[in-house]
Amino acid sequence: MPSHKDGAWRTFTNCVYAGGTLLVPTYVEACPQVQQQALDTFRRLLPGWTIVGVDCSALIAQGGALHCITANVPAIGRQRRGG
């Protein structure tokens, strides 16, 4: 996990798994070698998956990253209750 000296808790595990693609948060403020190590670790652990880094520098300042902003997205095709 990158430094949080500025109060922003950056993490590479606040990611989104999407049909064989993993979207991993990256940050301009983080050390490039640490980010590359995180991406390489996901590639090693998920062979056959496409690993994509997504700059979440602006999102993390709001207190979240990729998983946080997708947590309340409804499943496609799900019917509403009571309707």
Domain boundaries, the chain: 16-70
Cα–Cα distance list, 42 to 22, 68, 77, 81, 83 (Å): 8, 19, 30, 37, 41
Is the pTM higher than 0.75? no
Residue 8 three-state SS: coil
Closest CA to 30 of 59, 4, 62, 58: 4
Residue 69 CA to residue 34 CA, distance in Å, equals 24
Render pLDDT for 12-63 as a digit per residue (tens, 0 to 9): 888 888 889 999 998 887 788 988 999 999 999 999 999 999 888 877 766 6
pLDDT at 68: 59
Residue 79 above 60 pLDDT?
no
